[in-house]
Structure 1
Amino acid sequence: MKFFYPLILASLFFCSSAFAEEHVAKALEHVNEAVTHGKAGHVGLFVEHAAKSIAHAEEALKVEKGQSKGHVESSIHHLHEAIKEEKSGHSAVATKHAEDAESHLIQASNTEKK
């Protein structure tokens, strides 16, 4: 029976890691869309994709650890700022925040694979 405990713990670790990777990938997908729509001036679609990116990043944050967690937290901050700026009519600033969030999600994704 003692043999199974490490096996169970290892499988939980890998499942949570895969869960985080999946949500970081989805968050990155949506932030890419937000940046594209921000540059095109599509306010509604920008906000929609930024919000979806936040939702996925927050799910990833539940199991993230280390450097990757810090990048996900930073991306969430930038996405909240992006939505706030977009709703205030500052599209260029909003898009810059979305690009910063995108950069952090890319770094989180690269950190997870190491």
Structure 2
Amino acid sequence: MKIISTTIAIGMFSFFLNTQVYAEDVGYRAEAIQHAEEAIKHGKMGHAEELLTYAKVSMGYAQAASNSGADDHMKQAVGHLVKAIGHAKMDRAGAATNHTRTAMSYMQESKL
């Protein structure tokens, strides 16, 4: 009987630990998408500097989600955000916006 209760306790503990990691992943992913949307909005207006700011923040959250166990879609999103940041630094809002859009679509496809 003691073995069964110990097994149940360990199982419940594992469940709650996994739930917390999942919640963090979802939060990082949501923040990354939100900041990518802002970057795209500014990119459409030709504001490369503002796009750069939001893309950097989005990339930080996307990297955190990726490090917390998100799938390869999030890693691809990070790659496109790196490209978007590079274009934004060269004041190329159009190209940066396109990469940010692609990154956002990968983030939305990402499964945690």
Q: Which runs of 5+ in 1 are unaligned?
A: none
In the alignment, the residues of structure 2 paired with residue 16 and residue 73 of structure 1 have an alpha-carbon distance, to the nearest angstrom, of: 18
Report deviation, 1:10. 0.9
Spell out the pairing of 1:24-103 with structure 2 (5 A cutoff).
24-65=29-70, 69-103=71-105
Output the TM-score relative to the length of structure 1: 0.87
In the alignment, the residues of structure 2 paired with residue 33 and residue 102 of structure 1 have an alpha-carbon distance, to the nearest angstrom, of: 11
In the alignment, the residues of structure 2 paired with residue 87 and residue 63 of structure 1 have an alpha-carbon distance, to the nearest angstrom, of: 28
Instruction: Check whether the contact 2:29–2:62 (CA below 8 A) recurs between aligned residues.
Output: yes
The aligned length equals 107
Give 1 or 2 for the bigger CA radius of gyration.
Answer: 2
Q: Which runs of 5+ in 2 are unaligned?
A: 1-5
Instruction: Check whether the contact 2:52–2:88 (CA below 8 A) recurs between aligned residues.
Output: yes
Report deviation, 1:82. 0.2
In the alignment, the residues of structure 2 paired with residue 45 and residue 20 of structure 1 have an alpha-carbon distance, to the nearest angstrom, of: 26
State the superposition RMSD in angstroms: 1.2
